[in-house]
Chain A
Amino acid sequence: MDKETRDMLLETAGRFFTERCDRAVVNNVEKGVWPADLWKEIEEMGLPLIAVAEDKGGVGGTLADMLALLRLAGEHAVPVPLAETALSNLLIGAAGGTPKPGPATLALGDLKLSGNRLSGKVARVPFATVVQRFVVVVDRTLVVVPASGARVESTPSHAGEPYGQVSFDNATVEFSGASAVSAERAFELAALMRSMQMAGAGDRILATAAEYSKQRVQFGKPISTFQAIQHMLAELASCVAATIASAEAASRDADEGGLEAGGRFSIAAAKSQCSDFAHRIAAISHQSMGAMGFTHEHILHHYTRRLWVWRRDFGSESFWGEKIGAAYAKAGPDMLWEGLSASRYPT
């Protein structure tokens, strides 16, 4: 979509998230209350179909459009699987399918497909207990399994989101098509999706901590006037800036390079970077807000706890760091700068 259309969509979505994803909604999800109305409205706005072609009933946006929306969703801790469903639907569409309504998620792991039967187990599947279907890529085949075909054990994430362990035991698939992406690539795209959500969470954490420092009065003046606080928040800004810059650069590279292989190195580097700095972002923001930010009452933990979970989802900094490090070590020191300056794995 053109820039004007995207900006308009983001503005509308931003207003909607501000109104509808308030503290109570996010906290209720943690208590196990599925926000059916919120999901219905998100579907009515077409958001889960943002990157699905118009002739399949979608909005017709690009991967980059979807990722921009997900940064915004991260900024609002949207407590439903918008990201997971939007990426699932994109992949279903690209595999020749037509996405059905209802929340979906990606179950990516060591799975086996024989004929139309899927078997295997995947741990820490986001929103596993509330979705209506699972999207799986095995070799170059994409399959969709209805929730009724899987056994799900609830293992809520430490951010209180309904993650779970999903087992398929000769499960019947409701859709099967030639996948536009490999299983490894689907995992990369999911890592990119999380990086953009982390960028959004970073946006919100910085704004929250900075606003708080202007409001909070101690020793007779706002704590924002203390140099110690100013320097902490400046450091926080630098960590958030790195998160944003890496996620945005990877999004650009993935979009421009094509769904199948665009920005492979950039995505790995971005997820490594975003995961790496999650710790400092959480640590500084909490320190700057004192006991207030440590309460369940305050919203800061909606974002810091998600960062702590998201940094592990779809590859931590250890996982992506190892991929990058192994490739660069194999290529040797003379290829280091050539690879880095071209945002590529060295060859």
Chain B
Amino acid sequence: MSIPKLEFPPFHLPPEAEALRLDVRAFLKDIVPKIKTEDRFASWNTASPEFSRALGKKGWIGITWPKQYGGSEKSFLERYVVTEELLGNGAPAGAHWVADRQSGPLLLRFGSEEQRQAILPRITAGECFFSIGMSEPDSGSDLASVRTRAEPVPGGFRVNGTKVWTSGAHRNHYCITLVRTSGQHGDRHKGLSQLLVDLKTPGVTIRPIINLAGRHDWNEVTFNDAFIPESCLIGNEGDGWLQVTSELAFERSGPERFMQNFYVLRELVRVLGRNPSGRAASILGRLIARLWTLRQMSVAVAGMMQGGKSPAIEAALVKDLGTIYQQDLPEVARVIAESDATTDDDMADFLDIAQYATMMAPSYTIQGGTTQVLRGIVARGLGLR
């Protein structure tokens, strides 16, 4: 009986990815200040259709996809660099984020030719945005227990049920929705399918769910005898579970799991000034070292994926550590700023930022797989269950 050794082989992003980084960075330095958003501290959950269209024009959405669908056939590592530059430069990249990260790749892998041709070029142009229709009022971490039912009827499905925490449904075009197409509630992984749902379909109602910070990101999406044509079934009927779990892998492994509130660190540097006390410098440096480590881990995971491996445990470790870092960051930053900010004006401004970041922090260890679900995956990897 032996415990598998953890390895994160150091990995270099290739020269073409580093070259692309400079292009993306130059573009963002120019455009980000010109984009109006209501958020001062934009990230991957701040939507700006205007920004996404501009990024699409550069060819930086769906960058890995085949050219016939508007992609650039570049590597997963080049996508990685685009992603981290968006986060590092505070771009309001939320409108296209889910489509680029997981909905497009899902359609590419399992969708029909008709679906690909109809949707993918619009995603790469930055004109078509997606929501994720997984969670329900009674199904969160236990995703296989979904109750939304799609009953086969002539020409398609009649759908009834409710999805919740559906980010951006009020402004997005489609929602890839996990439904039960056969069998009974309790059949678990059997009988589930994914549907490509146009959010303007009659019988689909979208209501806001306001989060504790007063933001409207989430929605409740209700299906009331909504008719979804057969052509909108993704992949094979009954393969929904297999498809949805492959989608989750895309959802967990990216730099958005440790750079969502990068602005806090950047503003902390600003508020501490150019010549902080030794104590403040030390605390700042330790935060930077943690973030650097997370990036090394994440790049190592990207390297393993590029090499054809499936580092599910390593990806879970990155999300676990990364989201906890994101929760610690506003707290540690606030405490050191309280004692070490250089001017009162800076301080008032920074406290605002830190307070907002603190309010958003509980979501990090819940969305995309809770800490507890991730630790279950890691424990299985360690051979404990």
Chain A interfacial positions (CB closer than 8 Å to B): 203, 206-207, 210-211, 213-214, 224-225, 227, 229-231, 233-235, 237-242, 244-246, 248-249, 251-253, 265-266, 268-270, 272-273, 276, 317-326, 328-330, 332-333, 336-337, 340-341, 343
Contacts and interface: CB of A to CB of B under 8 A. Distances in A.
Contacts of A328: 269, 284-285, 288
B382 interface: yes
By DSSP majority rule, is chain B's interface helix, strand, loop, or mixed? Answer: helix
Interface string B345-385: 00000000000000000000000000010111011001111
Contacts of B246: none
Given A321-B289, A325-B284, A328-B284, A235 B375 contact: yes
Contact of A234 (B89, B262, B290, B320): B320
Nearest to B313: A237
B286 A317 contact: yes
A230 B385 contact: yes
15 contacts: A206-B3, A224-B385, A230-B376, A231-B372, A238-B317, A238-B321, A239-B321, A242-B321, A249-B8, A321-B282, A321-B283, A325-B284, A329-B269, A333-B269, A333-B270
Interface string B256-280: 0000001001110110111110101
Given A237-B382, A252-B10, A245 B285 contact: no
B290 A207 contact: no
A322 B285 contact: yes
Interface of B: 1-3, 5-10, 21, 84, 88-89, 262, 265-267, 269-270, 272-276, 278, 280-286, 288-297, 300, 314, 317, 320-321, 372, 374-376, 378-379, 382-385
Given A269-B292, A321-B289, A330-B274, 5 more contacts: A229-B384, A238-B320, A276-B286, A324-B288, A329-B273
A213 B296 contact: no
Given A207-B2, A230-B376, A238-B321, A245 B286 contact: no
Contact of B375 (A214, A234, A276, A325): A234
A322 B320 CA distance: 26
Given A248-B8, A333-B267, A322 B281 contact: yes
Contact of B84 (A246, A269, A318, A341): A341
By DSSP majority rule, is chain A's interface helix, strand, loop, or mixed? Answer: helix
A325 B269 CA distance: 9
Contacts of A211: 1-3
Contacts of A268: 285, 289
Query: Which of A210, A238, A332 has its CB near the most chain B CB atoms (within 10 A)?
Result: A238
A245 B293 contact: yes
Contacts of B84: 341
Contacts of B372: 231
A272 to B, nearest CB: 4
A206 B3 CA distance: 8
Contact of A329 (B10, B272, B383): B272
B285 A324 contact: yes
A244 B382 contact: no
A332 B382 CA distance: 42
Contact of B275 (A241, A321, A330, A343): A330
Nearest to A222: B384
Contacts of A322: 278, 281-282, 285
Contacts of B292: 246, 265-266, 269, 273, 340, 343
Contact of B89 (A207, A240, A241, A337): A337
A324 B266 contact: no
Contacts of B282: 317-319, 321-322, 325
B317 A321 contact: no
Given A269-B288, A272-B289, A241 B297 contact: yes
Q: Which 6 A-B pairs have the closest CB atoms?
A: A325-B285, A324-B285, A325-B281, A321-B285, A325-B284, A234-B375
Contacts of B6: 203, 206, 237, 240-241, 244
Contacts of A333: 266-267, 269-270
Contacts of A253: 10
A230 B269 contact: no
Query: Which of B7, B269, B295 has its CB near the most chain A CB atoms (within 10 A)?
Result: B269
A246 B375 contact: no
Given A237-B317, A245-B296, A246-B293, A332 B280 contact: no
A273 B9 CA distance: 17
Contacts of A241: 6, 8, 297, 314, 317, 321
Contacts of B269: 328-329, 332-333, 336
Contacts of B286: 272, 276, 317, 321, 324-325
B290 A341 contact: no
B378 A237 contact: yes
Given A246-B293, A276-B289, A210 B383 contact: yes
Nearest to A225: B385
A336 B265 contact: yes
Query: Which of B9, B383, B384 has its CB near the most chain A CB atoms (within 10 A)?
Result: B384
Contacts of A270: 289, 293
Contacts of A329: 269, 272-276, 280-281, 284
